[in-house]
Amino acid sequence: MRDKNVLVTGGAGFIGSHLCEELLKGNKVICVDNLSTGNCKNVEHLMVNENFKFIEHDVSKPLNLKGRVDFIFHLASPASPIDYQKLPIETMMANSLGTLNILNLAKEKHSKLLLASTSEVYGDPEEHPQNESYWGHVNPTGPRSCYDESKRFAEALAFAYQRIHGVDVKIARIFNTYGPRMRKNDGRAIPNFVTQALNNEPITVYGNGKQTRSFCYVSDMVEGLIRLVESEFFDVFNLGNPDEMKIIDVAEKVKGMVGSKSDMVFRSLPKDDPVRRKPDITKARKKLGWKPRTGFEEGLGKTIEWFRSIH
Ligand SMILES: NC(=O)c1ccc[n+]([C@@H]2O[C@H](COP(=O)([O-])OP(=O)(O)OC[C@H]3O[C@@H](n4cnc5c(N)ncnc54)[C@H](O)[C@@H]3O)[C@@H](O)[C@H]2O)c1
């Protein structure tokens, strides 16, 4: 992508800030964020670039922008279980009213829009691995429902805008992504393990640790998001890394790579925590020519290095 005007909502967050950085290699970027779970520090280094503009704004309120907007990445939403359970109503507003406002903007500006959805739309899946045709197994009122159900609503709304107004929408169902700029205390497995290991504190594993996740390094995710928004498809794509790992093995790997003396402690599994999670990325591989390229050790090494630097 070159010489385009691009809007990134949630651009001061973890994935959004890496996306802004990549897009700035040849484009103008407007980053909109209300800083509820993101931080200006994530984009501080971009502020000096004349092609970068930061607007503090809550997307659940209408957004007026002057001029051309060629592409929109709509990422604004709390994303970690700790954040969305602390901000359940704000999460639902960001994904419902926020998505409505951004769809209206895309309609007005004839922009290509990528909606950041999530593997959580599959809930605690009864099919494994999950491919895009699986409708999911979601508790509509449980503690994660504010996130899962509002992302499902956002997907449905995006499809309605595509069908009724012809808005060019692409949906990325993002699976666990990790890398520098995650917050120490955001409750997700990798930042938790790395922070505890660096402090030589007990590493907290939920359940028996045999539940699985698959982790995608952030630069691979950014590449997938850009490929998807540039594609000609009005469709849903899983983006993630299909290498499935047991959580206990991830904890051991982190401990080993940090060189930590931490012990493992086991705590009960949070309610509705999915037991297995692995994307089927056949569609993204075939239609977008995308697959993750960063090995787990390589990505974890860069992530540990970053957490050490802020330690
Ligand atoms: N990181 C992952 O593993 C993962 C997995 C699945 C889906 N996603 C999706 O990717 C997107 C980015 O996630 P992230 O991990 O970077 O999370 P993050 O919390 O670091 O970033 C989200 C950003 O959105 C901003 N935001 C929240 N509500 C807003 C609002 N109403 N108006 C404007 N800005 C608002 C926050 O301040 C933050 O900067 C989210 O939509 C999330 O649902 C992420």
Residues β-bridged to residue 173: 117, 238
Tell me, what's the pLDDT at 311? 78
Q: Strand, coil or helix: what is 39?
A: coil
Distance, in Å, from the CA atom of 238 to the CA atom of 134, rounded to the nearest integer, reads 11
Whole-number pLDDT of residue 124? 87
- Position 14 scores a pLDDT of 98
pLDDT for res 185? 85
Encode pLDDT of 141-191 as tens digits.
999 999 999 999 999 999 999 999 999 999 999 999 999 999 988 888 999
| pLDDT at residue 246 in the model | 95
CB of 279 sitting under 6 A from ligand 1: no
Q: Give residue 269's pLDDT.
A: 84
Q: Is 42 in the pocket of ligand 1 (CB under 6 A)?
A: no
pLDDT value, residue 275: 79
91 lines ligand 1 (CB under 6 A): no
Phi, psi of 71 (to 5 degrees): -135, 145
Spans in the chain with pLDDT lower than 50: none
- Is the C-beta atom of 225 inside 6 A of ligand 1? no
Pairing label, strands 52-56, 203-206: unpaired
| Pocket-testing residue among 7, 36, 130, 173, ligand 1, by greatest number of atoms within 8 A of Cβ | 36
Nearest atom, ligand 1, residue 216 CA: 3
- Torsion of Cα atoms, 240 then 216 then 83 then 187, to 10°: 130
Nearest CA to ligand 1 atom 27: 77
- The catalytic residue positions are 147
pLDDT given at position 233: 94
Q: What are phi and psi of 224, to 5 degrees?
A: -65, -40
Q: Exposed/middle/buried for 258, CB within 10 Å: 0-12, 13-18, 19+?
A: buried
Cite the DSSP H helix spans in 143-263.
145-165, 189-198, 218-230, 247-258
